[in-house]
A and B are shown apart, each in its own frame.
Chain A
Amino acid sequence: MEVVVQEVDSSACPSRGHLAVYEVREFEPLRFFSAIPFWTEVARVSKAHYPQLLGACLVMGAPAIGAWVVDHVLTKLIDRQSMGKVHLVASDPAKALVDGRYLTAEQVQQLTPYGKVWASTTPREKGG
């Protein structure tokens, strides 16, 4: 979150927060449920000490059970207003970013072909 704070504060519109893109393909639901205390703590600290930093959140590759998790689990962890910023994307992530008017097609082209985002887990220079 310290990284997020720095990035948001130095952006053109700090009041709009940041766009968080979570890649959860191959992330089995059981793995999520077995780490509920971990995620609860993440949510609690974010809410209490880093408020209003989230502009929107895209969960890429959400499993079919994702909607149930959002309805029954996440609503207990985070408030309704923040929940409204969470969007589950089951289809092509690149298309979702363009269709949702988050990035231009050119920006997505720059991100995807070199494996920076969806093809590999190559570390980049600006890591958290």
Chain B
Amino acid sequence: MTVLDQMPSIPNASFTVPAVSLVPDLFKSLFGGGGPHQRYVIITEKGIHNFVTHEHVARGTGLSELSDEGEARGFVARLRCNWVLYRVEGGVYTEIDAGGIGLARPSIRWYVENELATKEATEGRTQLALLRGVLDQLFRILSPPVPESYVVVTENGIHNFEPSTHTDEGKAREYVASLVLCNWVLYRVEGGVYTEVDAGGIGLARPSIRWYVENELAPAARNALRFKGVSGESGGLWRNASWFVTTPDTAPEDSPRTPEEQSLEKLCGACAQLGAQPPSAHSGARYLKEHQGDVAKAAVAFAASSRWREEEGIHELLRPGALKLADPTAEAALEHAMGPHAMQVLCHDLEGRPVIFYDLRALDVPKLLAKGVSQRDIEPKMDPALHASAHHGAHPSPQASRSATS
């Protein structure tokens, strides 16, 4: 795919003139690349998240690129592990067949859909990126110099990061010397790029600070610069470049809002129009993500969920003791199968996500139903909100009614 292929089409414009039709070829000769090329790829998983393509397996056998399906099938016939065979055409992966022994096929499909295909698409956009790089360099040359600043980041309490901005390194080091018994990392900031200069202090917080800067502070800075550059509202590409390193309390009031924040604002407005309370930032972001950023669809879904919560009285279910059964036998059976052990919040994983453990070993739904427990009693033990949904569920069992006092 050439650079021109990715540019938006111009209505009513004719590109049939021979001189113009040569332009894609010119770009092709300049940047490389070719037309759609069909090939076959076989993916296997050797160990968790260790995805291997047939090129690695067949290294040195002359089968590094399979252009014939028969050849590919001959190759997979020799594999014992799980495999998925894809036809790749113009960066698009189409599954042809899958087989082998094991449980890895869903993981392989996920890998191809989310990583391999994305990577190829990214590679396809390399030519466009090259052009953008040239334009970026031009902007850098034409724009005024970026003010340099120094930021000291500390962590006071878990995930409570405190960046402190200084105009030169000497002042930053003076500030660092005044810190007592806490970890710190000193960065030089230039054009939204954070470069670590030094780190010290007592404690174990340095990895967390680096993670915070890498994943939150630096991306926010880059977004802010991009926004300023695109909107032009601030009168220059790099003007006010250091505002983003200030703490939220001291950030200027006219600070630009990211596209996500703007979408959230629109979502809150749309929810209000539909008669629903505005969602929290996290909740709104999740609904927007679910609907690929479509504010109208997200608002309708959120309003429907709000109504559902009210109608089913979800907050009532969260009251302690609200899920206790009147029948002691049924309650004992339910406690054995889905007591507090059934769902535990363990810790946070390496990406900072909470790890939630569900123990389903003792869960036998038909057995519980036979003992007088209804589906609507089981579900909230996994998920309090599901209690209400079971009013419309497939297996309502009125035998085990809830105690009136609970």
Contacts and interface: CB of A to CB of B under 8 A. Distances in A.
A104 B350 contact: yes
B340 A124 contact: yes
Given A25-B361, A128-B343, A18 B354 contact: yes
Contacts of A86: 106
B73 interface: no
Contacts of B304: 48
Interface in B353-406: 353-366, 375, 378-379, 381-386, 389-390, 393-395
A74 to B, nearest CB: 9
Given A55-B353, A67-B106, A117-B346, A128 B382 contact: yes
Contacts, number: 225
B249 interface: no
Contacts of A77: none
Among B102, B113, B289, B355, the one with the most A-chain Cβ atoms within 10 Å of its Cβ is B355
Given A3-B343, A103-B355, A104-B350, A52 B289 contact: yes
Interface of A, helix, strand, loop or mixed by DSSP: mixed
B345 interface: yes
B379 A38 contact: yes
A37 B361 contact: no
Given A35-B365, A103-B350, A19 B379 contact: no
Contact of A90 (B103, B342, B350, B384): B103
B233 interface: no
Given A1-B384, A2-B383, A100 B48 contact: yes
A102 to B, nearest CB: 5
Interface in B154-184: 159
A31 B361 contact: no
A1 B109 CA distance: 27
A13 B282 CA distance: 10
A7 B389 CA distance: 22
Interface residues of A, number: 78
B61 interface: no
A99 B47 contact: yes
B48 A89 contact: yes
Contacts of B342: 127-128
B361 A24 contact: yes
Contacts of B355: 18-19, 21, 102-103
A66 B102 CA distance: 9
Interface string B308-350: 1100001000100000000000000000000111111111111
A34 B49 CA distance: 32
Nearest to B298: A51
B109 A11 contact: no
A17 B353 contact: yes
Interface string A76-102: 000010011111111000001001111
Interface in A52-74: 52-53, 55-56, 62, 64, 66-67, 70-71
A101 B215 CA distance: 18
Contacts of A45: 383, 385-386, 389
Given A71-B105, A102-B355, A26 B384 contact: no
Contact of A84 (B103, B113, B343, B394): B113
A3 B386 CA distance: 12
Nearest to A40: B394
A11 B282 CA distance: 11
B356 A41 contact: no
A13 B318 contact: no
B52 interface: no
A19 B356 contact: yes
Question: Which of B289, B301, B309, B385 has the most chain A CB atoms closer than 10 A to its own CB?
Answer: B385
B250 interface: no
5 closest A-B pairs (Cβ-Cβ)? Answer: A127-B340, A84-B110, A128-B343, A35-B365, A37-B394
15 contacts: A4-B356, A12-B348, A27-B363, A31-B366, A38-B394, A41-B375, A41-B394, A48-B308, A49-B309, A99-B48, A102-B355, A104-B350, A117-B346, A127-B341, A127-B343
Given A5-B283, A88-B107, 16 more contacts: A11-B348, A12-B159, A21-B357, A22-B358, A22-B360, A34-B366, A38-B375, A38-B394, A38-B395, A40-B394, A41-B379, A80-B113, A87-B107, A90-B102, A99-B47, A117-B346
